Amino acid sequence: MIVEVCGLREPENIRAVEQLAVDRIGFIFHPRSPRYLPMIPSSAGIIPDRPVADMNIPRSSRVSRLGVFMDEMPQNIVTRVYNYRLDAVRLQGTETREACENLRRTLDPDIRPGIAIIKGWTVRTVADIRRWKDYEGAVDAFFFHLPMATAGDRLDLGLLEAYDGNIPFIIGGDIAPEDASRLGGLRHPMFMGVSLNTHFETAAGIKDIEKLQSFLERLRDGRQTENHRHADCHH
Ligand SMILES: O=C(O)c1ccccc1N[C@@H]1O[C@H](COP(=O)(O)O)[C@@H](O)[C@H]1O
């Protein structure tokens, strides 16, 4: 299972998160988000926008980088992929299958060979889950933004049983520290990982390293317990 921490913006905090056992960090390029990572606009659009200077930090060789976009213009996505050396792009607006395919053709191989294209949307019903078919063959993974369920059963993981696609998915949306053991025990053949964000912050865009660390430990424990349980069932 991969762990993605999304919505970072400060270099020191990015370095600290990259020291943890996480697999991917994510930047939000949606201007209305409090976690928005701005670019320095180019002079009259003659040269491409540049990243803010202090974001020009060395890349971790172990932790990959994701950019999150919502109905963004393709040329802006391309500039950010190049400037922030992104390995994956998540489209979380109303982008169509054709938009995903066109973006991949623009980026791969010229700008970023092998870039991962992820389509995300909010999943509230089984019909929402079934929308995966619209993107079959066009994307590398899905991001399902899950709603909160009833009190006591915080995150509604039950909906995921309706997913019968062959493309891996990541889940996110209100995942909190107390969800670690349940997520560690989640078994679905296409379940790829979790995306953590707002419940692991000290302020918008600043991640709480201790909270993340303790979540990662509990996730690993939940995983081990589930693996033992699974092994016992098969003996
Ligand atoms: O975090 C934001 O501000 C944001 C804004 C616009 C699009 C996506 C955004 N966040 C992504 O959504 C998921 C779920 O976040 P949360 O756990 O509900 O806070 C997260 O993985 C971010 O990638």
Domains of the chain: 2-233 (3.20.20.70)
Ligand 1: does its nearest atom lie under 6 Å from the Cβ of 35?
A: yes
Query: How much distance in Å is there from the Cα of 53 to the middle of ligand 1?
Result: 24
Q: Which atom of ligand 1 is nearest to the CA of 35?
A: 3
Tens-of-pLDDT digits for all 235 residues of the chain? 999 999 999 999 999 999 999 999 999 999 999 999 987 776 655 556 677 656 767 788 899 999 999 999 999 999 999 989 999 999 999 999 999 999 999 999 999 999 999 999 999 899 999 999 999 999 999 999 997 755 556 677 888 999 999 999 999 988 999 999 889 989 999 999 999 999 999 999 999 999 999 999 999 887 777 677 766 666 5
ipTM of the complex: 0.89
Query: How much distance in Å is there from the Cα of 133 to the middle of ligand 1?
Result: 23
At what angle are helices 74-83 and 97-107 packed, to 10 degrees?
A: 40
Nearest to 140 by CA among 85, 66, 74, 216: 66
136, HSE (Cβ side, Cα atoms, 13 Å): 10
Torsion sign, CA atoms 80, 84, 89, 94: negative
Query: How much distance in Å is there from the Cα of 229 to the middle of ligand 1?
Result: 33
Query: How much distance in Å is there from the Cα of 198 to the middle of ligand 1?
Result: 7
Ligand 1: does its nearest atom lie under 6 Å from the Cβ of 172?
A: yes
Give dist(CA 168, CA 28) in Å, integer: 22
In single-letter form, the type of residue at position 62 comes to R
Residue nearest to atom 15 of ligand 1 (CA): 173
Residue 41 is classified by DSSP as P
